[in-house]
Amino acid sequence: MTADVIDGKAFAAKIKLDVAKQVVILKEQHGIVPGLAVVLVGEDPASQVYVRNKNKSTKEAGMNSFEHRMLPDVSEAELLDLVKKLNEDPAVHGILVQLPLPKHINEAAVIDAISPDKDVDGFHVINSGLLATGGQGMVPCTPQGCIMMLKDRLGDMSGLEAVVIGRSNIVGKPVAQLLLNENCTVTMAHSRTRDLATVVGRADIVVAAVGVPELVKGSWIKDGATVIDVGVNRIEKADGKTRLIGDVEYDEAAKHASAITPVPGGVGPMTIAVLLKSTIVAACRQAGIEEPEV
Ligand code: GUN
């Protein structure tokens, strides 16, 4: 068996196109221009790339993009003050503070200062609580992107065995919660899991979000499983150049899986597309209107 490749780039392009159409309707029919504020503290190179891409995509979708850059030694109080201003700004419908933050800033305090209605990352405890209790909060972008790709591929996922590897607040925990909401039987595996090979081997759905290059061996994958690889690991090749690889041993896994996401070009492009979609959701909820149908 050779797995189908799940094309995250094409999927994300379709979402972005729909978002751009929704923006036109919101402008024409409601006079609303959805706005996303992105806050970047410091000069982490990977974060700078993410933030640049977010701003570009936001503008391409016809939305307002508000970019706030702060020096690495900014105080927590100054950052909290900016978040407060963004909470109060009616032109800002979504707020994203790029993580990680410098060590001297309490990340949880900053996330909890963001208005839950504008928390397009879905990281606020109110939103994680709503996700856990079946409420209508803001849902984290990467996990939501994973579920959209799985649903597109599998349709009804009721009763399927899903194994999530990694227990981060950003991906592992919310993706497990979303799979549970889809009626999967969910196992959360992590660095202390015994016999990961056996745990992965029973999964119909594997979501790898652990940040360890090729931790998940291709031979572990059950024949016909669907594999979502959230890992983005930069490794050095023999010639000194670098390349990106996932958390799953791709070539070998593709011999067993029925479908698999590549790295790059799988989950990665979905995150920003879902972020734009979440900004639309936030703008509509704040205005008390339904999301435009496109
Ligand atoms: N850093 C890495 N991924 C993310 C994300 O999804 N949101 C934020 N705010 N920071 C991140």
Summarised one tens digit per residue, pLDDT across range 118-136 is 999 999 999 999 999 999 9
Ligand 1 close to Cβ of residue 283 (< 6 A): no
Express as a percent the part of the chain with pLDDT over 90.
99
Beta bridge partner(s), residue 165: 189, 208
Q: In a mutational test of the pocket of ligand 1, which residue from 99, 139, 230 has the highest number of ligand atoms less than 8 Å from its CB? A: 99
The per-residue pLDDT for 224 is 98
Atom number in ligand 1 closest to CA 100: 1
Atom number in ligand 1 closest to CA 142: 6
pLDDT (tens digit per residue) in 220-254:
999 999 999 999 999 999 999 999 999 999 999 99
pLDDT (tens digit per residue) in 145-175:
999 999 999 999 999 999 999 999 999 999 9
Alpha-carbon gap, residue 210 to 192, rounded angstroms: 12
Ligand 1 close to Cβ of residue 232 (< 6 A): no
The per-residue pLDDT for 239 is 95
Q: In a mutational test of the pocket of ligand 1, which residue from 50, 274, 276 has the highest number of ligand atoms less than 8 Å from its CB? A: 50
Ligand 1 close to Cβ of residue 119 (< 6 A): no
pLDDT (tens digit per residue) in 86-99:
999 999 999 999 99
1 pLDDT exceeds 90? no
Beta bridge partner(s), residue 207: 164, 228
Which residues are identified as catalytic? 54, 98, 121
The per-residue pLDDT for 131 is 98
pLDDT (tens digit per residue) in 21-65:
999 999 999 999 999 999 999 999 999 999 999 999 999 999 999
Report how far ligand 1's centroid is from the alpha carbon of 99 (Å).
5
The mean of the pLDDT values for the chain is 97
The per-residue pLDDT for 244 is 96
Ligand 1 close to Cβ of residue 26 (< 6 A): no
pLDDT (tens digit per residue) in 187-214:
999 999 999 999 999 999 999 999 999 9
